[in-house]
Every structure is written in C-alpha cells, then in structure tokens.
Amino acid sequence: MIITVAKSAGFCFGVKRAIKMALNAAAKDKQVEMLGEIVHNEDVVRNIEEAGIKKISSLVSGKNKILLIRAHGEGKSTIENAKKIGYTIVDATCPMVKEIQKIAEDLEQNGYDIMIIGDKEHDEVQGIVGNIHRQAIVIDSVEQIPHEAVKKIKKAAVIVQSTQTIENVDKILNVLKNSIRNLSYFNTICKPTRSKQKEIKVLPLKNDVVLIIGSKTSANTRSLYEISKSLNDRSYWIQSENDIRQGWFEKARNVGITAGASTPEHTIDSVVEYLERNF
Ligand code: SF4
C-alpha cells in the first residue's frame, strides 16, 4: 500500500511557537499557569503539564507566577486582570491571531460593527471578541445568521476565525452582502490553514482511503475531515493508530494522511509505522 503524508500535516507555525515558549517558561523558577489547554490536543497538553505547567480555570493570585497566554489568544481584560493580581505574562498568542485581533480593533475604532465568522465557543473567537469594546456578532453557519440583528446593521466588517473553511465563509458572506449595504470583508483564514485545506481537496481524490489525525476537540481537524469526507467516503478521523480498523483498507492500494494543526509529529509517525507494519 502506498502511503502519502500531506506536506502540511501536523503542527502549524503558531502551535510550534506556543509550545516552545511554554517549555522555555517552565524552565524558569516561577510557577507557570495557563487558562485552559495550550492547544486542542491531549498529548501536547499532557507533555506541557508534565513539564510543570498548571492548567487553571480562573485567576486567583499571580504572586511569583507566570501566566502563559495560549496560541489562540485571550481577551484584553483577562490579561490586564492577570497583571493586576501579580502575574508575569508570557504571551504565546500566534502572530496570525494577534493580527486578526488588531484588524478587529482598528475596524471597530473606524466605526464598523464587527462580525466574526467562526465558532462562538472557540478560544480564538472569544479572544477576538474580548479585544473589542462593542458586542461582536459571531456566526458559525449560514443557518445561524441572526437575520433580525443583521437587518439593523448599517456598516459592518466581517473577519474570519483563522481555521474556517472558505466554503463556509462564502456561504455566510453571500447572505450578509444582500442584507448589509456597507459591508467590508477581511479573509483572515491563516496561511497554514489555507495550505492544509488546499491539500485536502486533492488528497481524497488521489487515494482510496484517507486518514485525518487529530483530537476530537480540534476545530481545524474537524474541517479537514469534513472536506475529505465530502470528496471520499472512505475518510476516517483518528486520534492515534489505536483507532485504525483493518476493514477500512479492503482492496485499498493507497492511503493519504493529513493531520490537524495541533497534532504532534510523533503521532503522525506512529500511524505511518503502524500502516507499514500491518498492510
Ligand atoms: S492555525 Fe493558524 S492562526 Fe491558529 S495557531 Fe496555527 S498558524 Fe496560528
């Protein structure tokens, strides 16, 4: 069986950078804490915790402590509050997420209502919302467009969560264009996501079976899986080689592999080795 691993599979630049910054911070003498998980991958979170970094759910006292800001970023008030109660901040927000936060801030200052195409619950979206003053409208699918609220908007700017698919963005944008006369649009899908999505439009067509590796909590892995599944029904979302089933590969001559932005290289290597050993 021929195995092809997508060039863009696995850690993106922002995740690699955040993990490196986290491990550097852990080497200092202060206790390092982070609000939630550094990235959406259980293996990575475990390694970070083993290095001594503590996951917390709220800020209590920051005396002699470092607060690590994760790749997806945080709202301004959280960071300011952390500083006030004594934390030293190590900001591992991905520069591309920072750029989106900055675009949103500038647009708001220029009188635009901010609309974000993305997942309301996702840390990145919450961080963007937390960096502007007025309430942003977050839309994750065309079915969830709040038409009543949208009708009242005169001047709006649409920005996009870095890991969205362009197909979802286009669908939502087409509806918004018909409702808001003064609408500006900024495609803020990041470069690593674009590369991954470009490859996943070809990989399922060139392979009998496609494996998409990543945590079930990873939004960008979900997007990769959904695109792949729409092009090739024999697409499977796995977290590690333990999820692989023999029956998936019946008469398969080739398999394509990709992985979400928070999937470590060793997980991808283990899947490849497993396939080489067993098929
Ligand atoms: S997916 Fe894009 S925006 Fe998110 S951490 Fe990676 S490079 Fe940064």
Fold match between domain 2-10+192-278 and domain 96-189: yes
pLDDT in tens, 174-192: 999 999 999 999 999 999 9
Q: First and final CA of the chain: distance in angstroms?
A: 7
Q: How confident is the model at residue 224 (pLDDT cuts 50, 70, 90)?
A: very high
Judge if the beta carbon of residue 14 lies within 6 A of ligand 1: yes
pTM score, whole prediction: 0.91
Mean pLDDT score, 195-204 = 96
Share of the chain above pLDDT 90, in %: 94
CA of 18 to the centre of ligand 1 (A): 10
Q: Which fold is adopted by the domain 2-10+192-278?
A: Cobalt-precorrin-4 Transmethylase; domain 1 (3.40.1010)
202 pLDDT higher than 90: yes
CB 205 within 8 A of CB 182: no
What distances in angstroms separate CA 15 from CA 189, 195, 225, one per listed residue?
15, 15, 20
Residues of the chain with pLDDT > 70: what percent? Answer: 100
pLDDT for 37 equals 87
CA dihedral over 240, 42, 70, 124, signed as positive or negative: positive
* pLDDT of amino acid 38: 87
- Ligand 1 center from residue 151 Cα (angstroms): 32
User: 141: buried, middle or exposed (CB in 10 Å: 19+, 13-18, 0-12)?
Assistant: exposed
Tell whether the model's pLDDT for residue 59 goes beyond 90.
yes
Q: Indicate whether 30 pLDDT > 90.
A: yes
pLDDT for 82: 97
pLDDT tens string 110-168: 999 999 999 999 999 999 999 999 999 999 999 999 999 999 999 999 999 999 999 99
Catalytic entry in 33, 37, 74, 124: 124
99 noted as active-site residue: no
- Determine the CATH number of domain 13-93: 3.40.50.11270
pLDDT 10s digits, 239-254: 999 999 999 999 999 9
Cβ of 100 closer than 6 Å to ligand 1, yes or no, is no
How confident is the model over 56-74, as a mean pLDDT?
94
Task: Domain 96-189: state its class.
Answer: alpha beta
Sign (positive/negative) of CA torsion 120, 124, 126, 131?
negative
Q: What is the pLDDT of residue 219?
A: 84
- The ranges assigned to domains in the chain are 2-10+192-278, 13-93, 96-189
User: Does the beta carbon of 263 lie inside 6 Å of ligand 1?
Assistant: no
Mean pLDDT of the chain: 95
Residue-wise pLDDT for 149-160, tens only, equals 999 999 999 999
Q: Is the CB of 127 under 6 A from ligand 1?
A: no
